[in-house]
Amino acid sequence: MARKKNFDETEVLDKAVDLFWEKGYHATSIQDLVDGLGINRASIYDTWGDKHQLYLSALKRYRQNASSWLLNEIRTEQSALLIIRKFLNLTLQSAIHEQDNRGCFMVNSCTELANCDKEVENIIVENRKTMEQVLAELIKEGQQDGEISQRHSSTALARYIFTVIGGIKVLGMSQITEHELNEVVDVTLSVLN
């Protein structure tokens, strides 16, 4: 008979996101997880199987949390262009003002593991496709309303914006100023006009 868990899986998973995000997959030991999650090894293995499965669950959790803002904004009555501007500005602010300059967990996972771990790559590709689809639908609405140029397809513009967002997150890890990133946002928005 399985023992009752004495912890909230969601809370522990959020802590795992922070640990893996801070240190990366390879540099995070099982002992780091035990110490950081506040649960014992047996609980980790009983719940997730191994470190790799915990990492995959953490990456999926991050993906879910990261995309929820955009999905919620799209349900508002705001214009498509305003939502995209807010999304870019939110990305910029988090990149500049994040205290430990750890970038984006999804981007970090891509650079550390995507070329050698098919399961991680699949989550990253799924994230990219979902975000590009959501952005493309939003852009298409803006094009139909006449606020976004039809010079490029909604799909191409969505991929461009998603790429810029990834770049902002990477540049935020280096010594770049808010002014410099604001210029990137301004140029990105000018492509939509």
Structural domain includes residue 55:
no
Lowest mean pLDDT among 100-104, 164-168, 176-180: 100-104
63, 125 Cβ separation under 8 angstroms: no
Torsion of CA 153, 154, 157, 158, to 10 degrees: -150
The answer to the question of residue 27 being in a domain is no
Cα gap 103→44, rounded to integer Å: 26
Answer yes or no: is pLDDT of 75 > 80: no
Mean pLDDT of 15-37: 97
Average pLDDT of span 46-73: 91
Domain presence at residue 127: yes
Q: What is the pLDDT of residue 1?
A: 47
pLDDT exceeds 90 at position 23: yes
Residue 3 has pLDDT above 70, yes or no: no
Cβ–Cβ under 8 Å, residues 62 and 21: yes
Residue showing tokens 């976004």? 148
Model confidence at 77, pLDDT cuts 50, 70, 90, reads confident
Structural domain that includes position 163? 61-192
d(CA 110, CA 113): 6
Looking at residue 66, its pLDDT comes to 84
Instruction: Report pLDDT digits (tens) over 125-150.
Output: 999 999 999 999 999 999 999 999 99
Residue 37 lies in a domain: no
Q: State how many domains the chain has.
A: 1
**Mean pLDDT across the chain:** 93
One-character DSSP codes across 71-99: HHHHTSSS-HHHHHHHHHHHHHHHHHH-T
Q: Give the pLDDT score at 120.
A: 98
**Does residue 34 or residue 74 have the better pLDDT?**
34
For residue 52, being part of any structural domain is answered with no
54 domain-assigned: no
Residue 69 Cα distances to 1, 66, 86, 87, 104, angstroms? 40, 7, 10, 9, 15
- Domain assignment present for residue 98? The answer is yes
Assigned domain for 11 exists: no
- Helical spans, DSSP H, in 98-153: 105-113, 118-144
Confidence of residue 5 (pLDDT cuts 50, 70, 90): confident
What burial class does residue 188 get, using C-beta atoms within 10 Å of its C-beta: 0-12 exposed, 13-18 middle, 19+ buried? buried
CATH for 186: 1.10.357.10
Q: How many residues does the chain have?
A: 193
